[in-house]
Structure 1
């Protein structure tokens, strides 16, 4: 199991869409990567587009037998993930 960490930007919104998809698509193409860990340690803001990107990544990962986890979420970002019930789809680690 090889885990790759992708640091999510402080302001995670639709403006991150192109870069986020390019980075995650590259990780999904790498046969060595079995887990993509989204590092939320610096995230202070995320919107519904960001939540959609995370859910879509999880669906793409599942289709190729990969796993997505969220780690180090805190404050408002953690609260938003909780309210959006993201843990129903993706493991959230402290």
Structure 2
């Protein structure tokens, strides 16, 4: 599953793009996308435009990113979620933890 990350020009924001299934098979690749970057961003964008599926392990990975980014002070936006992904996030009450758009 291709996961890519790119930092903004000023290094303040890291965008992680997800393509295909977001499940346990993507665990290490997702972690590398935010841990192995040369910048320390103040905010994160998870672009779910290409995500076709997400499971409970993906929810766990998002929570690990939240912890990495500062817990309650983390600034993480989940963008371009399709209706299925948005439904899973809503059922899991993730709108309480993340900005979903």
Q: Same fold (TM over 0.5)?
A: yes
Name the structure with the higher helix share. Answer: 1
| 3-state secondary structure, aligned to 1:30 | coil
Name the structure with the higher strand share. Answer: 2
Q: Contact 1:7–1:39 (CA<8 Å) still a contact in 2?
A: yes
Compute the displacement of 1:66 (Å): 4.7
Structure-2 residue corresponding to 1:54? 62
Unaligned stretches of 5+ residues in structure 2: 1-9
Q: TM-score, normalised by structure 2?
A: 0.79
Higher relative contact order (CA 8 A, sep 6+): 1
- How far does the alpha carbon of each residue in 1:21-53 deviate from its partner, in whole angstroms, 9 at most, with x for none? 0111134x613x211100011111111000000
1:30 aligns with 2:39: yes
Q: TM-score, normalised by structure 1?
A: 0.84
* Mapping 1:1-94, distance limit 5 Å: 2-27=12-37, 30-31=39-40, 33-62=41-70, 66-93=74-101
Q: Contact 2:19–2:49 (CA<8 Å) still a contact in 1?
A: no
- How many pairs were matched up? 90
| 3-state secondary structure, aligned to 1:8 | strand
d(CA) in 2 for partners of 1:80, 1:41: 15
